[in-house]
């Protein structure tokens, strides 16, 4: 049984108990605050959708979503801003090979900033560590960053339930642009899920501690075994 299904069953039992224990339930035409909150959460879980900023904050306080160094000032109407850490990974090979462990270098972004060059892929990471076993996490760039011609993820903005770690950012730019450490570069948001699911348990990127290059070469090793 998934966490959401377990929660829904518990809420249904609680609502049924409240109705059964109140002989005048049908007569008084109103519910107390606790009943309203339980019915609202049950409806939200079954209906699905993107969490609002207020709902996200509630889930963080309840421990169902974890974002390190959470700051309510960075909550948007339906997302939360994340910061860029002070390091970037750059591949050293001219031709990247999916089946091999490609060489790379790590460089620090100074406080004075670093100029990104078009045509180069930079791998960065968020300063924040996130996790949730209840919702689908998704990542996207901020509109202000996008308007400078900077993309924060090539194709990997979709997360998995159960992922716990820092987010790797696939950064590239249309024209030269200077970036800075600690800038609010992207935003995370959360979506409910319908049906049974398995939590993310991949050993490649789970519980990462820094910028990670592609580990796709491991897929080919597993296939050949």
Token pair for residue 218?
Answer: 């491991």
**In angstroms, rounded to a whole number, what is the distance separating the alpha carbons of residues 8 and 6?**
5
What phi and psi values does residue 138 have, to the nearest 5 degrees?
-130, 150
Token pair for residue 200?
Answer: 């993310």
Given a contact cutoff of 8 angstroms between Cβ atoms, the answer to whether 119 and 176 are in contact is no
**In angstroms, rounded to a whole number, what is the distance separating the alpha carbons of residues 157 and 151?**
11
Catalytic residues: 170
Q: Strand pairing partners for 116?
A: 177
Q: Is 16 exposed, middle or buried (0-12, 13-18, 19+ CB in 10 A)?
A: exposed
**In angstroms, rounded to a whole number, what is the distance separating the alpha carbons of residues 102 and 91?**
7
**What SS3 class is residue 146?**
helix
Q: Strand pairing partners for 89?
A: 106, 123
């Amino acid at each position: 049984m998934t966490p959401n299904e377990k929660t829904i069953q518990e809420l249904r039992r609680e609502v049924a108990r409240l109705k059964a224990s109140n002989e005048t339930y049908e007569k008084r035409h109103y519910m107390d605050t606790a009943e309203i909150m339980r019915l609202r959460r049950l409806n939200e879980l079954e209906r699905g959708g993107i969490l609002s900023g207020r709902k996200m904050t509630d889930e963080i306080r309840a421990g169902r979503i974890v974002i390190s160094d959470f700051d309510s000032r960075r909550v948007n109407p339906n997302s939360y801003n994340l910061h860029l850490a002070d390091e970037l990974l750059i591949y050293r090979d001219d031709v990247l090979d999916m089946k091999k462990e490609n060489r790379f270098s790590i460089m620090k972004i100074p406080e004075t900033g670093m100029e990104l060059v078009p045509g180069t892929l930079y791998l960065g990471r968020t300063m924040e560590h996130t996790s949730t076993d209840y919702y689908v996490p998704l990542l996207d760039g901020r509109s202000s960053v996008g308007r400078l011609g900077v993309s924060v993820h090539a194709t990997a903005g979709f997360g998995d339930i159960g992922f716990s770690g820092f987010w790797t950012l696939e950064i590239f730019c249309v024209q030269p642009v200077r970036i800075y450490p600690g800038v609010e570069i992207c935003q995370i948001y959360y979506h409910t899920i319908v049906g049974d699911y398995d939590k993310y348990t991949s050993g490649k990127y789970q519980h990462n501690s820094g910028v990670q290059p592609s580990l796709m070469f491991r897929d080919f090793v597993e296939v050949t075994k």
